Structure 1
């Protein structure tokens, strides 16, 4: 009996010491592949749990919503409807361009009591898209990552996201959600809203203490510069800082990488990687096979040719059920530095994502978590799905759409 009491007291003490601080990696694995990690929860489980935990508010910023009857997204949507029915105020922002392709589920959600959906025509404001993929529960929990609000992102695409509970950190992202919510109103005076933004050059930083991880340092990141409050937290600035800080190795996993922007070179990240390699840092990068076209492939080959830089293309095999449009692809977006810290976000690496669109990310400094992401990278890198770039090969553009 005494032993049971001691154990119970230990649990209570641990909970009180670390209450409100939580962080976990979240993955989606294409079915019929060997990429699964048993110690990382899958996206749908985390989404449903977080939605079910909401007591007052759920705020979603999503590129689009894609659902078909009976798919794996259906239980997630059911959880959202249940939340609204129990009085939770639910808000969705979806991108205006993608809404034209996927209006049905957004419109259905908007009809439901306690659910409001706004269409964000960011292209008319800053020339980009709402490319972020995140949601906030009760102003204290956030999920963000490469996962779109799409049934395919739950079972046919390789994704990595992160769930965090920390009210101070989440306030950074909530402030951006509220700005986007205002800008996406049908009667929004966008010029006035933009002119009223008070910018600062400071870098917002936060710390948490987690029982099994120790100290976790966090820097939230976002794009683009016209619609973020803290300039020091801009994705591009922080990515360059991380690359410049690397001493031993850099591991990057992305859907796409392109130093070319509308016939002009976007060299910021490319030069940072080349400089890192020149000072002896080992750079490894995994890209999807959606990059097989000129001139993008030519720039990727030129980077791969640099000493200390190795790039592999990932090809996820077709599912046994047959071809699925916009699926079976490498879609993670992360970078690990020296197995000590990492950036995980929603942005692909080309200029428009940083300068025109809305994206979110987070930099996490914690050796245990960084090493775990390096293990995820290694699992892909060493798999049968990844192959080194062949400088002599003429790559054929892959069919990806309908």
Structure 2
């Protein structure tokens, strides 16, 4: 089915395929060392433990797509005990070919700055298949997706790159879905597209061969039992050129999720710009911004946005955030913005760390976990994926286990923590960075 726009009808799923797999959903998060919540605060499985479990249960195959690889402290000339989890993962991945597990890795030809990783060279020597995808050449972007697929039935999707800092130094949010072959097989189509674009002289096909097509999208999501509760799910992809027949684009999925919110919308992203970020001439890009304003003003949706803030933040973002915050001065409009600041503490020697890197949102009935920051470039030239889940429980006992309830609790924990500050707290920049409220 071709993608088309649709608001309320997005979740009707009258022609949705059903799946009998006993699918289970687990939030996977990275809480940086030194970031401590209250004793009774909500806790979730760590990204490290989730990835280690996926490696250990792999029987036949593991496919990973990641922007770049930096699993050892040596890669960035840092000696710190917090690099140990990444180094263990690298060792465990290297053992999989000895267990007759076929491992394929798709990564970007452009790597992260200031690092000279040998991870992929080491893994290749151990029999793991590696392909670098040149999205700079293909569409002037990068492969920014972060995904795992194990045995075509378990998946990980989230904000964490294959970087030891993503396990212990950066705040990340993702999810693992276990025992869900219907979902994993659909996810595999996205990985196969990356894998085949890693061949020499590959080009983005138009149209895409039918093999890459999907029946699961915002009009006809996959119907499953997720943690025992009925759910409708689908994957979105960006940019639009990377969406074969039937695949909802990531931007359409996000806007549709915002447009169907009636009560509340909680958003947590590292960056928010209604513009381009990496073009020589800035482009105004109002699509998400318009949907947020319309939800707050016309439908009186209570909106809370939590944005990552660190020493590399482009301060011009604050002007856009303040313009959204100002909507709260309108009668019956509830729009609040906060910044999440990870304290640097004793980790000043670690570059590109100590930041909230999450990309998710949740409404009263929709949970979204993605891999893209919210600006023009991530949806128009850079690859990303999103997982959309619509799940309503029949009673409160079940509700605690739904994906959207778990994300809601996680967001509220962060929003109310000592690490979240208002925009007004930044007016005195003499304390910047990370001294606000004692941080």
Normalised to the residue count of structure 2, the TM-score between the two structures is: 0.80
Deviations 1:63-100 (A, max 9, x none): 11112256211221222112111111111111111178
Matching residue of 2:303: 283
Q: Quote the residue 1:30 is aligned against.
A: 32
What is the alpha-carbon distance in structure 1 between the residues aligned to residue 29 and residue 247 of structure 2? 29
Spell out, residue by residue over 1:307-338, the C-alpha distance to the aligned partner (whole angstroms, 9 max, x if none).
22111011111143444211111111111112
Distance 2:148 2:354 in 1: 24
Question: Looking at both structures, which has the greater relative contact order when contacts are Cα pairs under 8 Å and sequence separation is at least 6?
Answer: 2
- Paired residues for 1:183-262 under 5 Å: 183-185=197-199, 187-190=200-203, 193-198=205-210, 203=217, 205-210=221-226, 212-230=227-245, 232-261=247-276, 262=279
Tell me the CA shift for residue 19 of structure 1.
Answer: 5.3
Determine helix, strand or coil for the equivalent of 2:224: strand
Residue ranges of structure 1 left out of the alignment (5+ in a row) = 1-16
Which residue is equivalent to 1:369?
403
1:332 aligns with 2:334: no
User: 1:62 aligns to what?
Assistant: 66
Cα 1:251–1:196, aligned 2, differ >3 Å: closer, same or farther?
closer
Separation in structure 1 between the aligned mates of residue 233 and residue 406 of structure 2, nearest angstrom: 17
C-alpha contact 1:202 1:230 (8 A) present in aligned 2 = no
SS at 2:140 equivalent? coil
Structure 2 residues without counterparts, runs of 5 or longer: 1-18, 74-82, 329-333, 393-401, 435-439
Return the match for 1:111 from 114, 125, 138: 125
Q: Which residue of 2 aligns with 1:3?
A: none
TM-score (structure 1 length as normaliser): 0.87
The structure-2 alpha-carbon separation of the partners of 1:133 and 1:200, relative to structure 1 and needing over 3 Å to count, comes to closer
- CA RMSD, aligned part only? 2.5
Single out whichever of 381-390 and 199-208 deviates more from structure 2: 199-208
- Separation in 2 of the partners of 1:141 and 1:284? 32
Aligned residues: 378
Say if 1:289 and 1:398, in contact at 8 Å, map to a contact too: no
SS at match of 1:73: helix
- Greater Cα shift, 169-178 or 65-74: 65-74
Structure 1 segment 2-401 matched on structure 2, within 5 A: 20-35=22-37, 39-68=43-72, 71-98=84-111, 101-113=115-127, 115-165=128-178, 166-185=180-199, 187-190=200-203, 193-198=205-210, 203=217, 205-210=221-226, 212-230=227-245, 232-261=247-276, 262=279, 263-279=282-298, 280-290=300-310, 292-307=313-328, 308-338=334-364, 340-367=365-392, 368-390=402-424, 393=427
Q: Secondary structure of the residue that 1:125 maps to in structure 2?
A: helix
